[in-house]
Amino acid sequence: MIGYILRRLLAMPLLLLGVATAAFFLSQVTKADPLSAVVGERQMNNPEIVAAAKARWGLDRSVPERYVIYVVNLAQGDFGTSFRTRRPVAEDIAARLPATLELVLFAMLFGVTSGVALGVAAAHWRDSWIDHAARLFALIGSSMPVFWTGLILLYVLSVALGWLPGPGRMDARAAFEPGPTGFHTVDAVLAGDWRRLGMALSHLVLPAFVLGWAVTGIISRLVRGSMLDVLEQDYVRTARAKGAGERRVLFGHALRNAMIPTLTIIGHSFAYLITGAVLTETIFAWPGIGSYAVDSARTLDHPAIIGVTLVGAEAFLLSNLATDIAYAVFNPRIEYGGGRG
């Protein structure tokens, strides 16, 4: 197992280099001329200014040279400068990361709890209407376009019924001191400001639900499958024969083992959350890296979109690595609750 973890860890730098190379390749084939982003249209006719800009931005160097510089810069966390905001991409991303993380965490919380609950219920009442309803709910979750569901729910719950606030992380007129973590919920708790906490949570409900729904589907399906596998095994029959109550059989015996394959999916569903966050943030005017990516893509702001893509790939790779290592460490086939059935 240690060999496996070492192999995975050693592969990481190579994968990251591959990812950086892919990004460099994209930035080379793009039709967007980086020069036109830094030099004004009129000055384009002035060869001196063009030459100076080329030298300043390293555009006069050969492609292999630029590649090496690019990779070295990336390794130092320098993603270049955004054409649109004129600020370093790394700074833009860092400023927007907490908003995305907060949204993704709450979406994950909703997706996992509802997914496990639905999966257990579906397995317990197999082939009943509950099972079918859970399956349909899960399928809808992975079939709907989040950018549309968000829009419709926002219209119904916020505009028509007025139960929930509109888009954004906070009410438009509310001004709060930025806290140390950048997570509005955590900052509110740290400051002991309950009104702020309530506002942050009420703004999180809809986007987290919309984003988490797809995860609900993935997880409930898997929990149902592995619950059914586990419920057929001898030790569950033994537990039942010993007179264990149904609740104890389901949660004490079956779910504990069914959760192990589920844990890996929870880790891997991070990818779905990143994907979904990009679109959810756009609908809910959420100032995170997802809406940053979309705004950048819309304006063909190449350094910014590549920067977000690289950060996304890194987060994705790390979460998969952590998940796989956790899986290897908690290998399910070795122990079960200290060896007692």
Contact partners, residue 213, CB within 8 Å, separation at least 6: 111, 140, 141, 144, 146, 149
Shortest distance, CB of residue 212 to another protein, whole angstroms? 17
Backbone torsions φ then ψ of 88, nearest 5 degrees:
-60, 135
Judge residue 47's burial from the number of C-beta atoms within 10 Å of its C-beta, 0-12 exposed, 13-18 middle, 19 or more buried. Answer: exposed
Interacting residues with another protein (CB under 8 A): 14-15, 18-19, 21-23, 26-27, 29-32, 139-140, 142-145, 147-149, 151-152, 155, 159, 224-225, 228, 232, 271, 274-275, 278-279, 282-283, 293-294, 296-298, 300, 302, 305-306, 308-309, 312-313, 316-317
Q: Which is nearer to another protein, 18 or 341 (CB)?
A: 18
Minimum gap (Å) between residue 146 Cβ and another protein: 8
Please name the residues in contact with 224: beta carbons below 8 A apart, sequence gap of 6 or more: 118, 119, 120, 122, 123, 131, 134
Q: What is the DSSP letter of 333?
A: T
Give the shortest CB-211-to-another protein separation in angstroms. 13
Phi-psi region for residue 145, left (φ > 0), alpha (ψ -120 to 50) or beta?
beta
CA–CA separation, 302 and 27 (whole Å): 7
Output the smallest distance, CB 340 to another protein, in A: 26
State which residue, 97 or 294, has the beta carbon closest to another protein. 294
Q: Give the integer Cα–Cα distance in Å for 250 and 69.
A: 57
Nearest-approach distance from CB 177 to another protein, in angstroms:
31
Per the structure block, which two tokens stand in for 340? 């007692």
Beta carbon nearer to another protein, 85 or 142? 142
Q: How far is the CB of 179 from another protein (least distance, A)?
A: 28
In whole angstroms, give the CA distance from residue 39 to residue 56.
11
CB of 142 to another protein, least distance (A): 7
Return the number of the residue (119 or 179) whose C-beta is nearest another protein: 119
Q: Nearest distance from residue 317's CB to another protein, in Å?
A: 5
Residue among 20 and 259 whose Cβ is closer to another protein: 20
Beta carbons of 32 and 303 less than 8 angstroms apart: no
204/306 with CB nearer another protein: 306
Cβ nearer to another protein, comparing 265 with 308? 308
Phi, psi of 285 (to 5 degrees): 50, 45
> How many residues does the structure list for the chain?
341
Q: Which is nearer to another protein, 135 or 189 (CB)?
A: 135
Pick the closest to residue 109 from 231, 269, 256 (CA basis): 269
